[in-house]
Amino acid sequence: MTSTTDIDVERFRREGYLLPQRQLFSPEKLDALEAIFDEHLADKGAKLSDELDTPHFRDPRLLEFLLSEEVLDTVEPLVGPDIALWTSHFISKDPFTGRATPWHEDSAFWNGRLSGYDRIVTVWLALGPSNRENGCMRVVPGSHLGGGFSEGYVATDMSVQTFHAQLEGVDESRAVDFELRRGEFSLHDGRIVHGAKPNTSSIRRTGYTMRYFPASVRVLPVEQNAGWKIWLARGEDRAGNRYENV
């Protein structure tokens, strides 16, 4: 398997993202993950299909993927040797009706929950094609260098947007589209400005996000973290966090 190279790391630090253009899992393993997603989609009840957050809290089968060598070998050069699992999320935008994702920084929604926000890395794995027509993710290169807590968030209409707030004043002409084939993946810094247009196509857009942070970062004892579960994925704890057992 191709690894994340020193050149990749340098570009990631500068631009805030990578598009490796390769498969993350074997075809059999990808099929197994998609089958688990299909179960969660069928059991979602009143939730929208883009609201399937932290499914691994409820389904330990997902840890086989989240704590896999394929993923950890990919993120270790970016996160460091001591890696903790922060969260995961099934994101599925229905054909024609999938809501847009407003411009935002993931880190803005974690403000006050962690002792640091550097080297938090998200793997966005495509469980089906992700392209401009069905609302692929878009990022603004280098925007993570601003620190991840931009001012200028305004309220959104959540009937057409997936989040309650969006960042105004983003220069969309600089945006890079993350077009992925099924099984391909992207990597992005938790502080980068990103979003997605609505799905206007007949093809569902489905991804699984897997997010990791350095085990030197402390998960703070604040109300927002009550009941939150984290796993030590690789290496040693450096912050005194409490982890779930594998």
Contact by Cβ (8 Å): 92, 23: no
CATH number reported for the structural domain that contains residue 190 in this entry? 2.60.120.620
Q: Is the pLDDT score of 50 beyond 90?
A: no
* Residue 245, domain member (yes or no): no
User: The domain containing residue 162 runs over which residues?
Assistant: 6-234
Contact by Cβ (8 Å): 18, 8: yes
How many folded domains does the chain comprise?
A: 1
- Strands (DSSP E) contained in the chain are 17-18, 52-53, 83-93, 101-105, 121-126, 137-139, 153-155, 165-167, 176-177, 185-189, 193-196, 205-214, 231-234
* Residue 33, domain member (yes or no): yes
pLDDT in tens, 171-224: 999 999 999 999 999 999 999 999 999 999 999 999 999 999 999 999 999 999
* Residue 242, domain member (yes or no): no
* Residue 219, domain member (yes or no): yes
* Residue 246, domain member (yes or no): no
* Residue 225, domain member (yes or no): yes
- The pLDDT assigned to 184 comes to 98
* Residue 101, domain member (yes or no): yes
Return the DSSP state at 184: B
Strand partners, 64: none
State the pTM of this model.
0.95
Give the mean model confidence (pLDDT) for residues 97-122.
94
* Residue 1, domain member (yes or no): no
